[in-house]
Amino acid sequence: MPHDHHDNHLDPMDARVRALETILTTKGLIDPAAVDAIVETYAERVGPQNGAAVVARAWTDPEFADWLTRDATAAVASMGFTGRQGEHMRAVFNTPGLHHVIVCTLCSCYPWSLLGLPPVWYKSPPYRSRVVIEPRAVLAEFGLVLPEETQIRVWDSTAELRYLVVPMRPEGTEGWSAEALAELVTRESMIGTGIARAPEGVA
């Protein structure tokens, strides 16, 4: 029989989650269909397009950008994006001299309501430990090579406070609508392991 490693090898967190779901279901405390519905919501309906809409609005609406700087939780909620656990949001803005990156060194805290499900690498122990120690090297592995003079700041997310990176608006997008700009905002650019896409035809 072929041995399929992925089916048989649960990581400890997956195993704990499965065990908890089984116990809660057996005791009649949760309905597995409800759990599936929540997972489906985050997998298919809540995704990086929410965060991209926030970033594009900040690029085009200085008053909103100011609000996002002062009180990201309220600014983001005004667009209909709120966290399930009521966690607070903080937006950190990239500049030519300062680049922000987010991580959760303890587990996998992530701005779900804005970015959907976290990528697998975000939860991986190497990313969580190394990005704090050698962010420039880790970013280079993502294909992001920043100028030497650009400072990198790493933000450690928690259950209470989660971060959104607002990437710099790409050049050559003067006069673009927020809707068109949102197409340039990638998930990686809002984690800080990437930057916003350049528009077609702009190097």
To the nearest whole angstrom, how small is the minimum distance from the Cβ of residue 160 to Fe ion?
Answer: 10
Which is closer to Fe ion, CB of 15 or CB of 106? 106
CA separation for the pair 138, 136 (Å, rounded): 6
**Interacting residues toward Fe ion by CB under 5 A:** 104, 106-109
Q: Which DSSP letter does residue 123 get?
A: G
The yes-or-no answer on residue 157 being catalytic is no
Which residue, 107 or 198, is less far from Fe ion as judged by CB? 107
Q: Where in 74-160 does DSSP place strands (E)? A: 88-93, 98-103, 151-156
Is residue 193 a contact partner of residue 118, using CB atoms and an 8 Å limit?
A: no
| Cα dihedral 98, 101, 106, 110 sign | positive
CB of 7 to Fe ion, least distance (A): 26
Smallest gap from residue 162 Cβ to Fe ion (A): 9
104 is catalytic: yes
Identity of the residue, 103 or 184, whose beta carbon is nearer to Fe ion in the bound complex: 103
Active site residue 129: no
| CA nearest to 197, candidates 131, 143, 116 | 143
- Which positions are annotated as active-site residues? 104, 107-109
